[in-house]
Structure 1
């Protein structure tokens, strides 16, 4: 991931020293598991642990130098580790294993750790959304469908629905975490021909990863599920970002991204205050969806394995977790600094001449004995005149001989329109940690 969208926490999960450190731990645990099974001398396993190199940048450099000769990253890693431990103990490193045993187990370990960070970020985003929802539970605004005024709602209700969706994404992340918290040390085609299952169980227990049946590789539907959870996070964050972008438009201006001292919205136009965070989130969500498509294509491999997935995963797995984590944190910062304009929301609600009450008027006329089609045509006729001539909708209805004025007070009652919104906020109480 380019530095612009990376974070120190996720960098620490996917860095080369972390990756090779995981490989090294898998190798050492496998050696110790073999020792417990009576296959490797116990003293040799202890020497391997004691003389194992530290996985730092210098260690990475030595592996990369060796890879120039082997043209195989795991072989270069094994050669480097064995050389540093030295024979005879070092010869037991990688005993009975194939490259994917090490690489796939370590990769699942990394995905699990990355998912933990994303789950925490989702929890923090939910907390921010719930706070804003409750603060603005009674902040009335117009609800829009197709971009057109529909009926009244509140800004708090809008944000509460966002919180509920992020909570669903958090559950998707938890499910994906379960799917990738697995490992395999079962050899070249998964038959345990050169490594006993108890060694796999030993390593899995120490790493907190569940051994699963596999070919040479862990099945890639698990990785695709991880990528879907990341892409779903992106889609949810984009859903919020697109709404905030629309609400910040000059002619709407109901919310506005924060603008810090010294910030410039445009190099040419000093008046600009653009929704840059929301637009960035929208853009990065497209990358997340593209990565999911690539991950789905990685599920189908030749026979017990090929490496067509490997090059793809080196890019999309770190990048997707980085981006999903980044967009949640970027959105939370956006929301923490969001400028909310209740007066503008009320003004926009009033700008459509009371037309937002057309449905309760329609229903009142039906209750008064008119057929639905008759009532619809009466309301529509007056509504279109209100739009076209800029006249108050209720005044037109009061002047219409086919309308019973006595039903209009209830139909135009804003409190009646919003009286059941508490159901949305009741759902917030069910969001757990």
Structure 2
């Protein structure tokens, strides 16, 4: 059947990057198995096992599988009901000198689990620079709008002013924590190494005639050949599935950040204060031609919910393992781990695209400020009257009465907020009328927001991005295919 006649995951067919899709492909998986068999044989030979040079050479020359080998392996798996042994058989056919030594002393999890750890590390290596790029793009945005006053919202009700740039730093700070969490998860990864069927290394102890030192050296040597910092000191047949929890936790935490950012942007689009990128020929609605829906942010939110829920698979799988292992983890992990990384990859691409094309509308922002600022300025007016010799309690009562009158005009009549006009006309406030424009200047209500942006970018963002300068220099604008 052709591809459009069967279901395909939209993560790979529609959204995810080529590099992430390729990492979790069968070609990469089975090619990595062959690398594991090659390095096992190399280490075993170095430690004294009689493995011919020709065997090593043939294995090294056939690390990549072609379509014919993939077809043969699929046929073997169907017949033998065992994917690892199917590939042992096919690898032996193309490297006949190595056939007696492939998988020597190993269990299936030597290739499956070690390969998974390799993929986890490589997948994080793909995500981390992309996350750094998103942080950098938002940092540019925050710096540009560091001092542009805007309404702050608590309970989604107008609150004290902040700045557009300061609000962006709230997003960036959470992304910095995600960068830290992914870095920790990546750097904490060890290798399962060479542990045998139940983790006791019994088969390798037999291969080396009871020489415990050589078995330990074998474990360390294979681990070093794959450039992992350490081999896990103890395992069952598999590495502990808590490792998957640690890794997917960092992705699930990132999903919460993405959901927060996407939701904030959608709300700001509703207010018409900010607009996400919109292509020249993009259609917002099939019926309402005028619409400019925040479809990118909506996609981020949709995928973020999916990503966050993948963590529960890892948690239940880890807790449900019996003794040294059961196989009920396999089918679940084949889905949850690749899909978690593919989803995170997509979200980062969309966030980069959004952050590179956010449009700010200062005039709309100012209109919203003007509608609310008179109420917020009442405290400034009271303080100015007191400094001019007025009585604080009398002033408070005057401004309270005028505020309620203005609020009634807004809420019951649908009019504009005329509190300041009422203050100007009230003889009681005559002493401070010449200073009203000064008292109503929005920039005087944002506190240290601009300075906070500057310090945050300098002290926290720049150091966090320092290891990713090459990625930042080489990164292109993120274009979405659909």
User: Do they superpose with TM above 0.5?
Assistant: yes
| Cα distance between partner residues in 2 of 1:403 and 1:378 | 13
| Aligned: 1:217 with 2:227 | no
Q: Residue 383 and residue 289 in structure 1: after superposition, are their counterparts in 2 closer, same or farther (change >3 A)?
A: farther
Q: Which residues of 2 match residues 154-193 of structure 1 at below 5 A?
A: 154-193=163-202
**1:299 maps to which residue?**
318
Report if aligned partners of 2:382, 2:392 keep a CA contact under 8 Å in 1: no
| Cα distance between partner residues in 2 of 1:366 and 1:65 | 89
From 452, 457, 470, give the equivalent of 1:428: 457
Deviations 1:133-175 (A, max 9, x none): 1111122211111221111111111112222221211111101
| Cα distance between partner residues in 2 of 1:44 and 1:113 | 31
Q: Residue 362 and residue 193 in structure 1: after superposition, are their counterparts in 2 closer, same or farther (change >3 A)?
A: farther
Q: Residue 105 and residue 342 in structure 1: after superposition, are their counterparts in 2 closer, same or farther (change >3 A)?
A: same
Q: Residue 366 and residue 149 in structure 1: after superposition, are their counterparts in 2 closer, same or farther (change >3 A)?
A: farther
**2:345 maps to which residue?**
325
Report if aligned partners of 2:190, 2:232 keep a CA contact under 8 Å in 1: no
Q: Which blocks of at least 5 consecutive residues in structure 1 are unaligned?
A: none
Report if aligned partners of 1:257, 1:338 keep a CA contact under 8 Å in 2: yes
**1:392 maps to which residue?**
418
**1:123 maps to which residue?**
132
Q: Which residues of 2 match residues 30-429 of structure 1 at below 5 A?
A: 30-43=40-53, 45-50=55-60, 52-86=62-96, 89-195=98-204, 196-209=215-228, 210-213=230-233, 214-249=235-270, 252-300=271-319, 301-352=321-372, 354-357=374-377, 383-390=403-410, 391-394=417-420, 399=426, 412-421=440-449, 422-429=451-458
| Cα distance between partner residues in 2 of 1:362 and 1:118 | 53
* More deviation, 158-167/391-400: 391-400
Deviations 1:392-419 (A, max 9, x none): 3445567597999699788645333224
| Cα distance between partner residues in 2 of 1:136 and 1:106 | 45
Deviations 1:369-424 (A, max 9, x none): 969xx999887665444322234344556759799969978864533322411123
Displacement, 1:49? 2.6
Aligned partner of residue 138 in structure 1, secondary structure: coil
| Cα distance between partner residues in 1 of 2:298 and 2:54 | 57
Q: Residue 377 and residue 45 in structure 1: after superposition, are their counterparts in 2 closer, same or farther (change >3 A)?
A: farther
Displacement, 1:217? 1.0
TM-score under structure 2 length normalisation: 0.81
Aligned partner of residue 120 in structure 2, secondary structure: helix
Report if aligned partners of 2:373, 2:440 keep a CA contact under 8 Å in 1: no
Aligned partner of residue 352 in structure 1, secondary structure: helix
Report if aligned partners of 1:231, 1:288 keep a CA contact under 8 Å in 2: yes
Q: CA RMSD in A?
A: 2.8
Report if aligned partners of 2:33, 2:111 keep a CA contact under 8 Å in 1: yes
Displacement, 1:177? 0.7
TM-score under structure 1 length normalisation: 0.90
Q: How many aligned residue pairs are there? A: 428
| Cα distance between partner residues in 2 of 1:314 and 1:184 | 21
Q: Residue 364 and residue 405 in structure 1: after superposition, are their counterparts in 2 closer, same or farther (change >3 A)?
A: closer
Aligned partner of residue 142 in structure 1, secondary structure: strand
| Cα distance between partner residues in 2 of 1:232 and 1:42 | 49
| Cα distance between partner residues in 1 of 2:395 and 2:70 | 76
Q: Residue 262 and residue 98 in structure 1: after superposition, are their counterparts in 2 closer, same or farther (change >3 A)?
A: same
| Cα distance between partner residues in 1 of 2:306 and 2:352 | 20
